[in-house]
Structure 1
Amino acid sequence: MAERTALQNRLDRATSGLETPVAVVDLAAFDANAAALSVLAAGKPIRVASKSVRVRALLERALARPGWSGVLAYTLPEAIWLVRSGVTDDVLVAYPCVDRTAIAELAADPRLAAAIAIMVDDLAHLDLVDAVVAPDRRPDVRVCLELDAAWRPAGPLHIGVRRSPVHSAAQAGALAARLVKRPGFRLVGMMAYEAQIAGLGDAPPGQALLGRGIRLMQSRSLPELLRRRMAAVRAVREHVDLEFVNGGGTGSVAATAADPAVTEIAAGSGLLGPTLFDGYRSWQPTPAAFFALSVVRRPSPKIATVLGGGWIASGPTGPSRQPTPWLPEGLSFRGEEGAGEVQTPLTGAAAGNLRPGDRVWFRHAKAGELCEHVNEVHLVDGDTAAPTPTYRGEGYAFLG
């Protein structure tokens, strides 16, 4: 309680001259999280997942730290922008690209072609690139083969996200054999993102039975993936000498780093510590990102209403995707209203003490999505805050 109150007082002091809504990142917590993730990675480099940050200055801050190298981008236009703006010269685009304009730009610039690798899991992805720029009219396009890391324990049962159709080692080897024969492309890496482990907390608050089920699933899924990923890497290496094998996420850094088949880890959410990562037993990041809204009315002695609040995270709809009123401690949503588009009534022990003009600090459920709501975040260092633009503030909404 005292620690949370001290944090609230510090954030209030640092942003006292700013109007709400205001978003902040506590640099001390950000740096501590970056250091902790490096320790968990046990010497393997961490590629920062930009979708979970979406602030150039923070990407640069992470990359300046020991143990962090390269960016895992979410679109090719974003990757091009990051290279051209000098953030990095090593970008892996995490999802396949069908943006013909961006492909043409990549193919027209040898510097971009040397710095960026695009994701593929189907020969159709190569066909599209060739349709934009013929192989003999461009530098080789660097590509990364994605292996489906989901668990398929029996029949049609699929536990994990739906990403690549390439699931078995044989499929990976067969695709690699065809990729290396295609002129105008260079297969440089593999990726396998174990979402059912890295992106699923094994100790969801207040759901003990669900947590036991998740832990049981993960205890079966991880050994199967380790065997299959190793076999797939071997099958692909029969055709090409890979530069990297990427795996993991914030929720599985230590487990993925222990896999000898993996050469680098991906992580991003752990830098900011959103609420979805409060439900992990292995490691919980220190909350580093917050946004404040102002109390504007008191509909009753036990309710305080803030302006705005409906900053809902992507994914399956439900309470876990709502922001969490964090400071002052002891606030909650009204079940029939939740986090509203233009106003959010709050109840709880602390609500009765709030008055119009007071601030409530929230945490977002996911990391980078906070930045889609603001043009700048304020980087808090002690009792001071300095603004820096988000992607949105620089005029970019790469998936908007």
Structure 2
Amino acid sequence: MDDRQRYDRATAALEPPFAILDLEAFHANAAALVRRAGGKPIRVATKSIRSRPLLERVLAMDGFAGLMAFTLPEALWLVEQGFGDILVAYPTADRHALAELAGSAEAAGRITLSVDSADQLAFMDHALAGVHPRHEIRISIDIDAGFVAFNGKFRAGALRSPIRDAEQAADLAADIAKRPGYRVTGLMAYEAQIAGVGDAPQTGAAYARLIRFMQNLSARELILRRGRIVNAVRQFADLEFVNGGGTGSIERTVREKAITEVAAGSGLFHPRLFDFYSRFTGRPAALFALPVVRRPSPTTVTVLGGGYLASGAPGPSRLPQPYLPAGLRYTPDEGAGEVQTPLLGQPAEDLRVGDRVWFRHAKAGEMCERFDTLHLVEGDTLTESVPTYRGEGKTFL
């Protein structure tokens, strides 16, 4: 029985649109991430999962420890649900959430905030001026891990922190150490140009070689710079963790002595964008089904909805992939639509009104913003249905 038959049989009682998680693929992907981490713990990126029961399931597996959240309100809610050791990987300007954090001994002990400038600390001081008693806030310094060459004329990597070198990091750590109410406990540096850029793109061998060349240079530069930064910050803080990497760079990042843990999440679902890496191969685990509702021509079918585009630079790579039956493609003038999506290709000839087309999202957790439930499939059986964040009434971004 092929995957399409399994999924159709397992979900026969459901009415699409809906989303599923193939548990066998999910657990295989988790085991592969742990192998690649080489014994260093993996902090789970919640933005790539966005389902509380699934986060609990992952943290129960050997090799995973702690969460990397994307907003402070999300982290506060996760603490209420019993989670601990949560790194908020992005700075916050949420005054109400900051007051709640500083006013709760439990939350302040479990959550670490990311900071990359004194301006953010000044904002927090102002936001917390009326909070009494005010509990100490744990701080992680976020470091720019981007690759810069040709005297700054070339850059690869996400535009995150302004902190790039050891002196800048030490100055910020010293500033934080002097301020009452804060304590530096961690450091993170996300190398997006390695972890988030596939080195085996469909655009051709020449471009792939350029990507690999850049990534090799970046990895060599970063191992030295990150090591110097960690040593400099340790002069002012007792670091509990140094976080780096992502699904696409785990085996590289863990080689660094300075790194104590890596982050990953997308690799558990293995969305479409992660097909284009030469260093690892995952199994598609998260999919969504849309029903065929029209047949405009003998070689075209139209499904309901489908415009679930991924964030990032716009382009075809951000579209969901028509996955099963294999061989379907978008029309060039409509693409993935808000309320309907026409699909072309030989398989369209055999599809009828009411049949399902299975899609993969380009990214991981963003799919869960569209669905309130993930239906868990083992073999050809639906074993459980769990809520996403949306299903629990939570939309943090």
Match of 1:68 in 2: 64
- Does the 8 A contact of 2:103 with 2:132 survive in 1? no
Deviations for 1:174-231, whole angstroms, at most 9, x for unmatched residues?
Answer: 1111111111001000000000000000001243222111111101111001100000
Match of 1:323 in 2: 320
- Does the 8 A contact of 1:121 with 1:146 survive in 2? yes
Matches within 5 A, 1:1-400: 6-86=2-82, 88-134=83-129, 137-156=133-152, 157-385=154-382, 386-399=384-397
Residue identity matched to 2:149? P
* Aligned counterparts of 2:207 and 2:376: Cα–Cα separation in 1: 37
- Provide the secondary structure at the position in 2 that maps to 1:341: coil
Any runs of at least 4 consecutive aligned residues in structure 1 with deviations exceeding 4 A, and if so which?
A: none
> Which has the higher mean CA deviation after the structures are superposed, 385-394 or 353-362?
385-394
* Deviation of 1:379 (Å): 1.0
* Aligned counterparts of 1:236 and 1:76: Cα–Cα separation in 2: 24
Residue identity matched to 2:58? A
Unaligned runs of 5+ in 2: none
* Deviation of 1:159 (Å): 1.4
- Provide the secondary structure at the position in 2 that maps to 1:378: strand
* Deviation of 1:269 (Å): 0.1
Residue identity matched to 1:64? A
Deviations for 1:321-354, whole angstroms, at most 9, x for unmatched residues?
Answer: 0000000111111112111111111111211111
> Which has the higher mean CA deviation after the structures are superposed, 355-364 or 134-143?
134-143
TM-score (norm 1): 0.97
* Aligned counterparts of 1:391 and 1:292: Cα–Cα separation in 2: 19
Deviations for 1:11-66, whole angstroms, at most 9, x for unmatched residues?
Answer: 11111000010100111111111111011001100000000000111111110000
* Aligned counterparts of 1:15 and 1:45: Cα–Cα separation in 2: 35
Unaligned runs of 5+ in 1: none
- Provide the secondary structure at the position in 1 that maps to 2:91: coil
* Aligned counterparts of 2:132 and 2:169: Cα–Cα separation in 1: 27
* Aligned counterparts of 2:54 and 2:222: Cα–Cα separation in 1: 32
Residue identity matched to 1:336? D
Residue identity matched to 2:89? A
- Provide the secondary structure at the position in 2 that maps to 1:186: strand
> Which has the higher mean CA deviation after the structures are superposed, 270-279 or 387-396?
387-396
* Aligned counterparts of 2:135 and 2:295: Cα–Cα separation in 1: 63
* Deviation of 1:126 (Å): 1.3
Residue identity matched to 1:61? R
* Aligned counterparts of 2:340 and 2:97: Cα–Cα separation in 1: 39
- Provide the secondary structure at the position in 1 that maps to 2:211: helix
* Aligned counterparts of 1:211 and 1:358: Cα–Cα separation in 2: 38
* Deviation of 1:381 (Å): 1.9
* Aligned counterparts of 2:150 and 2:385: Cα–Cα separation in 1: 51
* Deviation of 1:136 (Å): 7.1
* Aligned counterparts of 2:282 and 2:293: Cα–Cα separation in 1: 32
- Provide the secondary structure at the position in 2 that maps to 1:170: helix
Residue identity matched to 1:389? P
* Aligned counterparts of 1:136 and 1:304: Cα–Cα separation in 2: 62
Corresponding pairs, count? 394
Deviations for 1:289-339, whole angstroms, at most 9, x for unmatched residues?
Answer: 000001111111111111111110000111000000000111111112111
- Does the 8 A contact of 1:136 with 1:184 survive in 2? no
TM-score (norm 2): 0.97
* Aligned counterparts of 2:27 and 2:386: Cα–Cα separation in 1: 17
